[in-house]
Amino acid sequence: MAADRVVAVDTPDDIVTARQAGHDLATGLGFSLTDVTMIATAISEVARNITSYAGRGEIRLTISSRENRTALIIEAADNGPGIADIARALEDGYSTGRGLGLGLPGARRLMDRLEVHSTLGHGTVIEMWKWAPRDTGI
């Protein structure tokens, strides 16, 4: 099973590609159908933010160790305008665009961990992970 995949996100069609890559990797790791769906949905949310706010970026999927446990790691990165108020962006209902404000808070609820690193004018990196259902020896 490929443990590292990068999907360029430039168009809405790329959101589907990133979602499918996450679905395939999560299925291969033995996640339940419910968890696979949550992972794919979280990927959709952060990838949609890339197309909506930054125009282009990438989704990187890896299997790695976090806090001494194996996890599926999803990193969404862009060189867009950045997030001025990360705490506020993680609040339900807050949106700087025309969206419903469900993207980042929704993704955070679907995953085991979500971290946001952003610099105004230089882009954003969102790292989220879901603990693997079984130890893969990483």
What's the rounded mean pLDDT across residues 112-118? 96
- If 0-12 CB within 10 Å is exposed, 13-18 middle and 19+ buried, where does residue 21 land? buried
Once rounded to an integer, what is the mean pLDDT over residues 71-91? 92
Helix (H) or strand (E) holding 110: helix 103-110
Q: How many domains does the chain have?
A: 1
How confident is the model over 29-80, as pLDDT tens digits? Answer: 999 999 999 999 999 999 999 999 999 999 999 999 888 889 999 999 999 9
**Is 137 inside any structural domain?**
no
Task: Tell me what pLDDT residue 137 has.
Answer: 57
Residue 136 falls within a domain, yes or no?
A: no
What angle in degrees, to the nearest 10, is found between the helix axes of 12-28 and 33-49?
150
Q: Is residue 73 part of a domain?
A: yes
| 25 falls within a domain | yes
Radius of gyration of the chain (CA): 14
Separation of alpha carbons 93 and 117, rounded Å: 20
Q: Is residue 114 part of a domain?
A: yes
CATH number assigned to the domain comprising residue 10: 3.30.565.10
Domain that holds residue 14: 4-131
Confidence of residue 2 (pLDDT cuts 50, 70, 90): very low
User: Residue 138 domain-assigned?
Assistant: no
Angstrom distance (rounded) from CA 9 to CA 31: 25
Sheet arrangement for strand 113-119: 4-9, 57-66, 69-78, 123-131, 113-119
Share of the chain above pLDDT 70, in %: 88
